[in-house]
Amino acid sequence: MAFYQGKLYALAIDENLLVVNISQDPNTGDPQVSRIGQVIKGDPDPLFEAWLPDDTTARKKLYLVESRGALLMVRRKVCCRVVGDTIVAGGISEFEVLEADFEHSRWVNVTTLGDDQMLFLG
């Protein structure tokens, strides 16, 4: 989740970007979720696991961050080996950065963050 330009956004596992509207409960005054709406329909990579050998699998972790006035989705792909019933992280890890294009309701690939720019994810 990320707070961006006065709104709360959430990222679903299918890479859909959702806006979460918060209101006050009229009886208690407590905050409550009044509406969740889809802003961008995700387009997860259909070939994400297609290139992997039989004894490996892939895992994906998504991050939602604000940077320099833009809302970014960072997609981390990790290649893992399957050893018995255990999944062990392998040596291949890849990051992709996409920017929310609110005007066209889509994610746009980002090729550079700009000079002196880094993202710290946790």
Q: pLDDT digits over 13-26, tens only?
A: 899 999 999 889 99
What residue segments make up the domains of the chain, in order of their start?
Answer: 2-110
Residue type, 111: T
Token pair of 84 as six digits: 């018995």
Tell me: pLDDT of 55 over 60.
yes
How far, CA to CA in Å, does 28 sit from each of 8, 20, 23, 24? 22, 20, 11, 8
Is pLDDT above 70 for 53?
no
